[in-house]
Amino acid sequence: MNPRKLALDAIGKILNKGGYSNIVINEYLNKYEFNEEDRKLFTKLVLGTVEKKLTLKYYLEPFLKKKQKSWVLNLLMMSIYQLIELNIPDYAVVNEAVEIARLKDHYVASFVNAVLRNFLRNDLRSFDNLNEIETLSIKYSYPLWLVTYFLKDYDYEVVEKIFQEFDKVKNDAIRVNTLKTTKDEVIKILEENNIRFEESIIVENGLVVKESLVNHKLFKEGKIIIQDLASQLVSEIIDPKEGSIILDLCSAPGVKASHLASLMNNTGEIYACDIYKHKLKLMEENFNRLGVKNVNIQLIDARKVKDFVKEESFDYVVADLPCSGLGVLGHKVDLKYHITYKAISEIIKLQKEILESSYMLVKKGGFFIISTCTLNKLENEKQVEAFLENHPEFEIVYQKTIMPYEFHTDGFYICKLRRL
């Protein structure tokens, strides 16, 4: 199969039909047989073209005299992405694009050929005629409204550093599962397999690896789990005592619950709740693989949890809240085109409902932990400020927003409250 032709089809599903990149890519990888080289090229073309859509369209504009069909525009964007970003000979890119165009509509082939050759004869279009906000939008390919939304919370230089970090290729972070092994044992195995890694400076059992380990025996045997370092920090900040009773809201796929279980050495009880029934099976499979034995999985809407549990029942209540995901835009490359201001407003309302339904379940002297993978202060600091105004019986013992560029992690917010 031609990986470029399939990539073009996948890009159309994402950009023109509202598909999500991870779902669409997995659909194609499972449906068609790729060799390893074509598999990598297909994935890179889809993710790269989608991620850089606004930049690529900007570069193309001078060469397009009228509006084109969506597939033609996508083909041209995919082609100039290869010309700019990938180490592929120019003639190969142009020839492949012309051939794909000829198969879909032979009248378009000559047009595609002319545009790409004209593009190669000219320098890349300058950003000099754009204002500062437009420059951020086009240079890093973020919708103008979203750039402005970031700028309400952070200085221009900080926002650019965030976007620059999202642009970088991010290596996988793993957490050593201490229920089954030790960090020293995992490091020894990595060294024996010539797998490059770095130790984390922000969490105890986190490592950053230079290649995917999802097919490695360490992963299959449950000795490691793929988890961003900032996400790992949440459970370390919670720091649960052995024998504790914990409620983990919005828990699926259970990564943080499994971390809490390891920190507690499988003692106490963790109630891991989620609203989606199909995710409970995934949680169960993950817990079995990781050797987690102290977690009780529950199908519960976090907005209604107080209807099922007595007040002051838990030493720790963990609310990993639904959020806009503005801290994970680096690897959810299409999220920036799907998210809307209205959706964020609805998310903020949902967060408040969850907090108001769960705070009373914390024992006096216990802890209420709030976390998100977003950088939006209305979902983070301001949400907590509003909560504390209504509930002065809680106090902040830890609060931090982790910027992506600080430790090359996802953007994350963590707040630990104590009930007085």
Catalytic residues: 373
Residues 6+ apart with CB under 8 A from 410: 228, 230, 231, 327, 328, 330, 331, 373, 402, 404
Residues 6+ apart with CB under 8 A from 66: none
Structure-token pair, residue 418: 């104590």
Count of residues making up the chain: 420
Separation CA 2–CA 62 (nearest Å): 29
Placement of tokens 């959020």 in the chain: 323
Structure-token pair, residue 250: 């919005």
Separation CA 254–CA 86 (nearest Å): 37
Burial class (CB in 10 A: 0-12, 13-18, 19+), 30: exposed
Helix residue spans in 214-307 (DSSP H): 217-220, 229-238, 255-263, 277-290
Burial class (CB in 10 A: 0-12, 13-18, 19+), 316: buried
Helices 132-140 and 156-167 meet at what angle, rounded to 10? Answer: 10
**Is-contact 49 362, C-beta < 8 A?**
no
Separation CA 283–CA 267 (nearest Å): 19
- What is the phi/psi pair of residue 198, to 5°? -135, 145
**Number of neighbours of residue 123 by Cβ within 10 angstroms:** 5
Question: What is the Cβ-side half-sphere exposure of residue 354, based on CA atoms within 13 angstroms?
Answer: 30
Separation CA 329–CA 66 (nearest Å): 32
Separation CA 22–CA 298 (nearest Å): 27
